[in-house]
Amino acid sequence: MPNYNKKITRQMPYEEFEQGLTDLPQDRQAFLSVLFFAGVRVSEALALTSSDISCTPSTIYIQFFRLKNSKQTDPIPIPRTIYTSWLCEQDGPLFPLCRKTGYNIVHRAFEGFYPHFFRMNRIVHISENFGDNTVYSFIGICAKSIDHYRAKVDISKVGKSLWEEIS
């Protein structure tokens, strides 16, 4: 895994993510969308084949092979958008790339960001909106791992609440 100089701890809203997809080829848009929506590791996304994908008119279900002793999860539902529909039209391996290329795709589309940021972004979003049990079922990681991601974001929210408190 590449070394990162500074861990990014803020959240990325979908609108900001979507801006980074402009002018990218469809396969790159789909790759980045899988990272953003599913919160998977780059190697989990790169291992996908068309047999791991099941499509409906509004949702794409993706069966990931979880790594690093993560619990295997049910197929992950992601929205079927103009950026993800490409996944439903493919046959065979979806992203025949190496991990370094995956890193470069993220870095070129979102300067200063790294692939694992999208994992943190999704874990924190799910934890805040649905609770840790849902994170465990969606991502397949243990509570200790969830705390690592969540703790990195809470600090900025405390600062914001302090400003709101004195306003």
Domain extents in the chain: 14-166
Q: Under the phi-then-psi rule, with left for phi > 0, alpha for psi from -120 to 50, and beta for the rest, what region is 69?
A: left
Question: What per-residue confidence (pLDDT) applies to 6?
Answer: 61
Question: What per-residue confidence (pLDDT) applies to 135?
Answer: 87
Ranges 25-34, 98-107, 134-143: which has the least confidence: 134-143
**Rounded distance, CA 146 to CA 158, Å?**
19
Q: Under the phi-then-psi rule, with left for phi > 0, alpha for psi from -120 to 50, and beta for the rest, what region is 153?
A: alpha
- Fold type of domain 14-166: hpI Integrase; Chain A (1.10.443)
- pLDDT tens digits, 69-92: 778 888 999 999 999 999 999 999
Q: Which of 33, 16, 11, 15 is nearest to 24 (CA)?
A: 33
Residue 30: half-sphere exposure toward Cβ, Cα within 13 Å: 22
